[in-house]
Amino acid sequence: MKEFEEKFAEKINSALGSKDPAHDLAHVHRVVTTVKRLAKEENADENIVIPAAWLHDLVNLPKDHPDRKRASVLAADEAIVFLKSVEYPEKYFQGIHHAICAHSFSASIRPETIEAQIVQDADRLDALGAIGLGRLFSVITQLQRPFYDLADPFAENRPLNDKLYGIDHIHIKLKSIATTMNTASAKAEGLRRMKYIDEFLNQLKSEILF
C-alpha cells in the first residue's frame, strides 16, 4: 500500500494545486489519517478506504459552481481511470467508487458500506473543530461574503442564510454534520469538535456584542 500511497499523493497534489486552502493537500492528508484510524476502530477494508480518501477530491469544484453536486461522482470516475493506470487491484474499484461518490454532503448519496461511511465521516470531521473553522473562513473569504450580519450577527430576528453570511453556515450545516456521523467513533469525535465551535461562538458573541 505504501507504494500506491506515494502515487496517490502525487496524483492529488497535481490535481489540487494550492489555490484553495480549504481543499488542499493538507486537507487530504488529514482525511487519510482519520480514515486509517476509523478503519481500524470499525474493522473496515483499508484497501478501499485509503485510496478513496486520497482521491476523494480529485475533482474539486467551487462551492458556488453549478455542477458542485456532481463533483464527487466526477471525482470517483476520474479516480477509477487513475487506479487502472497504476494497476491497482480491480476488485476494490466498486467499493472505492461508491465511497468517493457518497463522501460529499451536497451529492446527497447514502453511504451503503462501512467503508463509504468511514470516508464520509472522515471528510465531514475535517469541517468541524479548529481546522473546520479555519476552512470555513477560507471559503467565506473566497466567496467574498461577510463573516456575519452587522445588524443581527446570530440571526435572532432573521432567517439563517449562509449564502449571505459566513457564520450562518455553522448553524445551517456544521451542527447537523456533528450529529449525523455514521460510525460510533466519528460521532464521539464530531461532538467533541462541535463543542469547540460552540465555545468559539460564545467567544465571538462576547467580542462583537461587547
Is 190 inside a domain boundary?
Answer: yes
Shared domain check, 73 and 7: yes
Distance CA 56, CA 60 (A): 9
Q: Grid cell 465531514 — which residue?
A: 124
- pLDDT, tens only, 113-147: 999 999 999 999 999 999 999 999 999 998 899 99
Shared domain check, 138 and 104: no
Shared domain check, 80 and 135: no
The grid cell for 171 is: 448553524
Is 116 inside a domain boundary?
Answer: no
Distance CA 153, CA 118 (A): 34
Closest CA to 103 of 94, 91, 112: 112
Closest CA to 53 of 78, 36, 40, 71: 36
CATH number for 25: 1.10.472
Residue count (the chain): 210
CATH number for 200: 1.20.58
Share of the chain above pLDDT 90, in %: 72
Following DSSP, what letter does each residue of 61-83 receive, concatenated? --TT-TTGGGHHHHHHHHHHHHH
**Has residue 17 got a pLDDT over 90?**
no
Tell me the pLDDT of the chain averaged across its residues. 91
Name the residue with higher pLDDT: 141 or 16: 141
Phi, psi of 158 (to 5 degrees): -155, 160
- pLDDT, tens only, 177-208: 988 899 999 999 999 999 999 999 999 999 99
Alpha helices, DSSP H, located in the chain = 2-16, 25-42, 46-55, 71-85, 93-103, 114-125, 129-143, 168-169, 175-179, 184-208
Shared domain check, 168 and 105: no
pLDDT at 51: 97
Q: What is the pTM of this model?
A: 0.90
- 157, 44 in Cβ contact below 8 A? no
pLDDT category at 107 given cuts 50, 70, 90 is low
Mean pLDDT within 141-158:
94
Q: Grid cell 450562518 — which residue?
A: 168
The grid cell for 196 is: 469547540
- 41, 60 in Cβ contact below 8 A? no
Mean pLDDT within 32-42:
96
The grid cell for 15 is: 490535481
pLDDT at 171: 94
Distance CA 170, CA 46 (A): 31
pLDDT category at 67 given cuts 50, 70, 90 is low
**Has residue 155 got a pLDDT over 90?**
yes
Distance CA 174, CA 176 (A): 5
**Has residue 45 got a pLDDT over 80?**
yes
Where in the sequence is the domain holding 51, given as residue range(s)?
Answer: 1-109
pLDDT category at 76 given cuts 50, 70, 90 is very high
Phi, psi of 128 (to 5 degrees): -115, 170
Name the residue with higher pLDDT: 189 or 70: 189
